[in-house]
Amino acid sequence: MSLSNITVFMPSVLTLLGIPGLESVQHWIGIPFCAMYLIAMIGNALLLVIIRSERSLHQPMYIFLAMLGATDIVLATSIMPKILGVFWFHLPDINFDCCLFQMWLIHTFQCTESGILLAMALDRYVAICYPLRHATIFTTQLVTQIGAAVTLRAAILVTPCLVLIKCRLKFYHTTVISHSYCEHMAIVKLAAGNVRVNKIYGLFAAFTVAGFDLIFTIFSYIQIFITVFNLPQKEARLKAFNTCIAHICVSLQFYLLTFFSFFTHRFGSHIPPSIHILFSSFYLLVPPFLNPLVYGVKTKQIRINVLKRCCSLYTALSSLRSIIIFQNKTRTSTHII
């Protein structure tokens, strides 16, 4: 039997299965997904508005945080509409090229987020270890260049994954993706033929970005801890360490979730597919969901500005309510007369 008789040649449409084994309860699973997405959008959008409007926050640490927030918005938005379409509206079909584009967006902005977290670690390293030189090293121009560089690096490294799939993989065993979104390995596993090159490049790109960034992040924090523990005053040590807590929490959850999902997708054959796919879907939403909450709680300047805006909004709503009540009373009195 020829290859063309048992496979599909370059399918135009793929089908996202969602979470295998949990199809009957996917509409309930979509509720926490939607809630996390809405909180992530509101939290990151609020961070962006506050950082842009408050001149006191126009510092490298907060500019990097704004970049992180923008990246999280794009990352979450690239997957959630389709996931909810599969879970709630039974719309599993996706155009093949759109699927590849979603894959490119997901992995590009994951890599971008990793690069921004490294840049934030380097910013804390210079601020704590070389405080007198921080302002001259981390200028606004350098921060902008770093943001552009990590985004360009991610796009360049992820693009070959898309090209290799499009150019090398012509025949597919099936058009059904056992996943809730278009992930690189989930697409590659559909192919009939030799996918070794695709797998090797995927590993290379992942370890080039995450491995490089994680190593230098750890190195930065080793130097930071050495400097902090050598400070003579306990208050100074606590103050310096407190500026790093939020970034440490965000970095830990990002890299732990990333590596866990990465290795289980390739080597976790003993893990039930439903558990793996459910975790993989959640893990892309966890960083956008948690990052604004962690920084909002641990960063005093942001917390103060959030409270100010909440108070202003409450005052505005109270004033509007008073005006509406007064107008209703006036209309009622006029009608009685």
Grade residue 195 by pLDDT with cuts at 50, 70 and 90. Answer: very high
- The tens digit of pLDDT for each residue in 69-95 reads 999 999 999 999 999 999 999 899 999
pLDDT in tens, 242-256: 888 888 988 988 888
Residues 283-302 have a mean pLDDT of 85
Output the average pLDDT for the chain.
87
Please tell me whether residue 94 adopts helix, strand or coil conformation: strand
pLDDT tens profile 8-54: 888 899 999 988 888 888 999 999 999 999 999 999 999 999 999 88
Residues 6 or more apart whose CB falls under 8 angstroms from that of 142 comprise none
The arithmetic mean of pLDDT across residues 270-284, rounded, is: 80
DSSP assignment of 35-75: HHHHHHHHHHHHHHHHHHH-GGG-SHHHHHHHHHHHHHHHH
> How many percent of the chain have pLDDT more than 90?
52
Residue 333: is its pLDDT beyond 80? no
DSSP 8-27: EES-SEEEE--STT-GGGHH
Rounded CA-CA distance 37/35 in Å is 5
336's tokens: 């009685």
Give the helix/strand (H/E) hosting 146: helix 140-168
Question: Residue 68 has what pLDDT?
Answer: 95
Q: What is the CATH number of domain 10-298?
A: 1.20.1070.10
| Cα 106 to Cα 285: distance, rounded to the nearest angstrom | 11
Q: Which residue ranges make up each domain of the chain?
A: 10-298, 300-336
pLDDT digits (tens, 9 = 90+) for 307-330: 777 787 778 777 778 788 777 777
